[in-house]
Structure 1
Amino acid sequence: MSDLARQMNDYRLTTAEILYHMPDHPGLLQTFVWQHLDLVPKFPELRKFLDFWAHNLDGRLHSVRVAHVGVIQPAAWANRAEFTLN
């Protein structure tokens, strides 16, 4: 399915900041930023990615912070133009 079709079906641009423990130095945290179109509030794409991470990667997850925004929105119009007549 194309990105436009997904957006028309309520998918939203989702960004996740993932903190994880470094495999060689578990006391240190590293950041990974993930961004994808996903369904809010169930986040199936993000859950699938985090499940893959937990089962296949060495860095143990510490925390995940999620933000989302609708990509297709009505245009916001602000009347900020200034016209001067001489």
Structure 2
Amino acid sequence: MERNETELMLRGYGLTTAEFYYRMPDFQSVLNSFVWQDYDLAPDYPRLFKFIEFWQDEIEGPLHSVRFTHRKMIAPGEWRNVVGEFKVH
């Protein structure tokens, strides 16, 4: 079941951005890069490691290195349920 981004953030997911450096299959001395983004759970990063396994199994270009960052967009203390709203002129 696909969840929307807000639901994922409220469940503790954060935006993970990874930059993959890999060697071209025909030109091993050439490095290329690929950027990947998804919502993932720190510190285990199951989606990132699943994608790395997919890359190693299915993509011909061998990985040289992976650099990633993770940012929670909503922390538990930053969100609260508001029932009403008062407007002041």
Residue 20 of structure 1 pairs with residue 18 of structure 2: no
Q: In structure 2, how many angstroms separate the alpha carbons of the residues matched to 1:47 and 1:34? A: 12
1:30 aligns with one of 32, 37, 49: 32
Structure 2: runs of 5+ lacking an equivalent: 79-89
For structure 1, list consecutive stretches of 5 or more residues without a partner in the other structure.
75-86
Look up the SS of the partner of 1:6 in the other structure.
Answer: helix
Percent identity, aligned pairs only? Answer: 43
Distance (whole Å) between structure 2 residues aligned to residue 71 and residue 36 of structure 1: 13
- State the match for 1:51 in structure 2: 53
User: Which amino acid letter does the alignment assign opposite residue 13 of structure 2?
Assistant: Y
Cα distance, 1:2 vs structure 2: 2.0
Compute the TM-score of the two structures, normalised by the length of structure 1: 0.81
May I ask how many residue pairs the two structures share in their alignment? 75
How far is the alpha carbon of 1:9 from its aligned partner?
1.0
| Match for residue 11 of structure 1 among 7, 10, 13 | 13
The 2-side partners of 1:18 and 1:71 are apart by: 23
Per-residue Cα deviation, 1:21-70 (whole angstroms, up to 9, x for no partner): 11110111000000110001111000011100000010000100010111
TM-score (norm 2): 0.78
